[in-house]
Amino acid sequence: MTDNTFLLDGEEIPFQPGQTVIQAALAAGGYIPHLCYHPEFKPHGSCKVCTVKVNGRTAASCTLPAQAGLEVESDTDEINDLRRTLVQMLFAEGNHFCPSCEKSGNCTLQALGYDLGVMTAGFRHFFPDRPVDASHPDILLDFNRCILCELCVRASCEVDDKCVFALSGRGLGKHLVVNAESGLLADTDIALTDKAMEVCPVGVILKKRVGFAQPIGQRRYDPEPISAQALRDAPRPPAGAGHCAACEVEE
């Protein structure tokens, strides 16, 4: 093992200074299941689906800096059972009726469930009663499907410079809100071209009048599983690069 590699399930993974374990793994063709991690934003480890075991201790691979000599376990029965439990909990906490959801086939949570072999509910469903905001002429918000990944919050603040969304409350009462005095999306300056419109992994932020436009077989996760797409789409440092500024993790 060299100074710039670590082991992932026994395979040597090269890394660039500043990369996290998941960034280096994906760039090298090593898939680690994940949900809230997005390559365009600083990871914060909220969902814990990317949990791995490192030198005998569990850690979120999206926030763990890659270091020489690490021995990372990911594709094990123990870790995958943990991931399945986390995904089952997310399904139970919200109203995720996949066959009737406009995001079916394009939903990251659904695709991850398939990839992990989640076949049962696992937990009693909460069936939350959250409002649906249809006030905006072009955008519908279905808060019942929110998994609190914060991607729309961060995209709206960090990329769109609008901060349309925020999380409010704590524990079971934590929920997504709209930053307007009325609490309605129509009273914000959100636009269809905003980054926040692209990043929701489930069916919370929807464009009106385009639901079910893609037939079964042509949706994002119909041709290939989420694991294959994640590896194909992973950002990779330029060949021979000694430093990846875009992959830096702040201490």
The mean pLDDT values, 10 residues at a time, for the chain of 251 residues are: 86 95 95 94 90 94 95 97 96 91 96 93 87 96 95 96 96 92 97 97 96 92 93 74 45 38
Residue owning tokens 């992990």:
116
Torsion of CA 84, 115, 54, 23, to 10 degrees: -130
Q: Work out the number of other CB atoms within 10 angstroms of the CB of residue 133.
A: 17
Containing H/E element for 166? strand 165-168
The pLDDT of residue 200 is 97
Q: pTM for this one?
A: 0.89
Nearest to 45, CA basis, from 22, 79, 78, 74:
22
The pLDDT of residue 240 is 54
C-alpha count within 13 angstroms, C-beta hemisphere, residue 143: 20
The pLDDT of residue 1 is 53
Fold of 97-207: Alpha-Beta Plaits (3.30.70)
Where in the sequence of the chain do the CATH 3.10.20.740 domains occur?
Answer: 5-81+226-240
Domain 5-81+226-240, CATH 3.10.20.740 — does that match?
Answer: yes
The pLDDT of residue 248 is 46
Where in the sequence of the chain do the CATH 3.30.70.20 domains occur?
Answer: 97-207
68 is written with which tokens? 């020489």
The pLDDT of residue 44 is 84
